[in-house]
Structure 1
Amino acid sequence: MNEFAEQATSDKLLERILSSLEDDKAEDVVSITLTGKSEMADYMVIASGRSSRQVASISEKLTERLKETFGLVCKVEGKDTGDWVLIDAGDVIVHVFRPEVRDFYQLEKMWMTPGEAVVAKA
């Protein structure tokens, strides 16, 4: 962890993740509060990229920015195929999908309570 790294609170982490996704033109970004629903994380963020290449790029840049800002080394799964990339940033879990794969799994429906569907804005 470098000496300039910020303290990674879950809210600061979420803010940086949403900002990174916006910078890289991720689409249909949704933030779901997991507090009280699961102990695995405080937030889940779901986003789409238009192609496997964009999904992989969004994910790679996000992990680089989190390391740069917070000194955080994230666990990443699925970057090689680029259909669905899972990024475990500790208090925030990020899923970046190709649209067809996202439609198939429909994670939002699994984790959101009715009426909670809010598109995240950084």
Structure 2
Amino acid sequence: MSVAGEMTTSDALLATILKSLEDDKAEDIVQINLRGKTEIGDYMIICSGRSTRQVSAISEKLAQRVKDEFGRTPKVEGKDIGDWVLIDTGDVIVHVFRPEVREFYQLEKMWVGGDAPAPQS
């Protein structure tokens, strides 16, 4: 697959992920472009759910949507606890947090420094 083809796939995956998060009422969605910064993926998405139940539900639905639409089974960690769930789709890494846990770890600052983009509601 060409580099252009890979970008198209990762951009389509990103759009599907963002739509899924919005549909499931994820809050404070932040998108970080990782291209040229790391080899772990093209994008990182960080968002919040209001409760452990919502964090788990957002994550479960997102993983199923990626599998249904792209034929990929993402790696999912932390869904049973529901404080912080990591969904690794290969090109896009998604972190779904409870707000208190997100505030504690402050992943946005790690990747974009003190100039983190404002969360989108």
TM-score (normalizing by structure 1): 0.88
Q: 2-side partners of 1:33 and 1:95: how far apart? A: 14
Q: 1-side partners of 2:109 and 2:62: how far apart? A: 24
Structure 1 counterpart of 2:17, one-letter code: I
Q: 2-side partners of 1:75 and 1:96: how far apart? A: 14
Q: Which runs of 5+ in 2 are unaligned?
A: 1-7
Moved over 3 A (4+): 113-116, 118-121
Equivalent pairs, count: 114
1:12-64 deviation digits (Å, cap 9, x = unpaired): 00000000000000000000000111111000000000000000000000001
Q: Which runs of 5+ in 1 are unaligned?
A: 1-7
Residue pair 1:31, 1:120 contacting (<8 A) in 2 also: no
Secondary structure, in 3 states, of the residue corresponding to 2:73? coil
1:17-28 to 2 correspondence within 5 Å? 17-28=17-28
Structure with the largest fraction of helix: 2
Structure number with the bigger relative contact order (C-alpha 8 A, sep ≥ 6) is: 1
Identify the residue that residue 43 of structure 2 maps to in structure 1: 43
Structure 1 counterpart of 2:81, one-letter code: T
Q: 2-side partners of 1:20 and 1:82: how far apart? A: 18
Identify the residue that residue 64 of structure 1 maps to in structure 2: 64
TM-score (normalizing by structure 2): 0.89
In percent, how many aligned pairs have the same letter?
Answer: 67
Q: CA RMSD in A?
A: 1.5
